[in-house]
């Protein structure tokens, strides 16, 4: 028992750069993650921040093996999953789940909420699916009757709760949340974040929360990883990062957050 749910060593991911692909032959590759090394302790809420193109979503997708890294190791509970095939990954998928940014495009518009939440459970061959769907809806604070509704009948905040219900229904150990509140109004944003916070506590989850919004991250996360152009520029406990940001880029990021306060003058 290492106490770490994830251990990453020198993780590298690259994508082919199709804009520079010659007519014949392979496209040159762009390095998106340039050798990341860090651990995620069990029960931690890790915030991952960075600008667009910093590689934060790519990192998230590598963690739950939606993409395969070029090199380096991703150890999940001691097992290196970096190059496992889909058959070996399937039993593990139950243990790491994802909540997506846009609840409209990540919920099948032609299926009812109940079917959407049940989907991953069917894939995993679980029994008593009906009961588990009800339980998941209870946990995210939606009425059980919502199982019969379609996504378009729900508000943005309610849809995002369905996304959360689908992820927690499998009782995973780890959840990846990629910009899950950036499409919501401040009020629904607050509700969804409060829900996530209490679920993490109640279920003893480990959470990686990707966001560009440091205000949101401050409230939710115990540790923050700052990415810039595919590299970790800062990895610090939340209070330390805000009290004494070390990296130049972290300071730039903090200065760029518009506080709801006219005292903070920019121009």
* CB closer to other proteins out of 83 and 219: 219
Residues in region 125-184 near other proteins by CB under 8 A: 156
- By CB under 8 A, is residue 229 in contact with other proteins? no
Least separation in angstroms between residue 51's CB and other proteins is: 5
Q: Between helices 129-139 and 156-168, what is the axis angle to 10°?
A: 130
- By CB under 8 A, is residue 244 in contact with other proteins? no
- By CB under 8 A, is residue 198 in contact with other proteins? no
Least separation in angstroms between residue 100's CB and other proteins is: 17
Least separation in angstroms between residue 197's CB and other proteins is: 8
Least separation in angstroms between residue 221's CB and other proteins is: 11
d(CA 129, CA 61): 27
* CB closer to other proteins out of 145 and 257: 257
* CB closer to other proteins out of 43 and 156: 156
* CB closer to other proteins out of 8 and 193: 193
d(CA 235, CA 233): 7
* CB closer to other proteins out of 158 and 189: 189
Least separation in angstroms between residue 4's CB and other proteins is: 26
- By CB under 8 A, is residue 266 in contact with other proteins? yes
From 58, 97, 188, 250, residue interacting with other proteins (rule: CB under 8 A): 188
- By CB under 8 A, is residue 213 in contact with other proteins? yes
Contact 81, 7 (CB under 8 A): no
Least separation in angstroms between residue 267's CB and other proteins is: 5
- By CB under 8 A, is residue 252 in contact with other proteins? yes
From 1, 18, 26, 186, residue interacting with other proteins (rule: CB under 8 A): 186
- By CB under 8 A, is residue 214 in contact with other proteins? yes
Paired residues of 100 in beta bridges:
none
Q: Which residues of the chain form contacts with other proteins (CB under 8 A)? A: 19, 51-52, 156, 185-191, 193-194, 212-216, 218-219, 242, 252-262, 264, 266-267
């Amino acid at each position: 028992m290492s106490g770490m749910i994830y251990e990453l060593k020198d993780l590298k991911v690259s994508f082919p750069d199709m804009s520079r692909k010659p007519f014949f032959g392979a496209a040159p590759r762009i390095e998106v993650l340039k050798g990341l090394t860090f651990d995620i302790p069990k029960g931690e809420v890790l915030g991952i921040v960075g600008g667009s193109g910093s590689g934060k979503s790519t990192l998230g997708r590598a963690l739950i093996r939606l993409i395969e890294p070029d090199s380096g190791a991703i150890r999940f509970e001691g097992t290196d999953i970096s190059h496992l095939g889909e058959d070996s990954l399937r039993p593990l998928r139950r243990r790491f789940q994802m909540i997506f940014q846009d609840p409209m495009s990540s919920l099948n518009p032609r299926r009812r909420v109940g079917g959407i939440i049940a989907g991953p459970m069917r894939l995993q061959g679980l029994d008593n699916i009906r009961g588990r769907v009800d339980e998941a809806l209870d946990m995210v604070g939606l009425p059980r009757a919502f199982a019969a509704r379609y996504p378009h009948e729900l508000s943005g905040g309610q849809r995002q709760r369905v996304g959360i219900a689908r992820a927690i229904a499998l009782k995973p150990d780890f959840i990846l949340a990629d910009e899950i509140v950036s499409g919501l109004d401040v009020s629904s944003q607050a509700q969804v974040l409060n829900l996530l916070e209490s679920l993490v506590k109640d279920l003893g989850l480990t959470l990686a929360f990707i966001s560009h919004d440091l205000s949101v991250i401050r409230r939710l996360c115990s540790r923050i990883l700052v990415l810039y152009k595919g590299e970790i520029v800062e990895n610090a406990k939340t209070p330390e990062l805000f009290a004494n940001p070390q990296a130049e880029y972290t300071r730039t990021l903090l200065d760029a957050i518009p506080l709801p306060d006219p005292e903070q003058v920019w121009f």
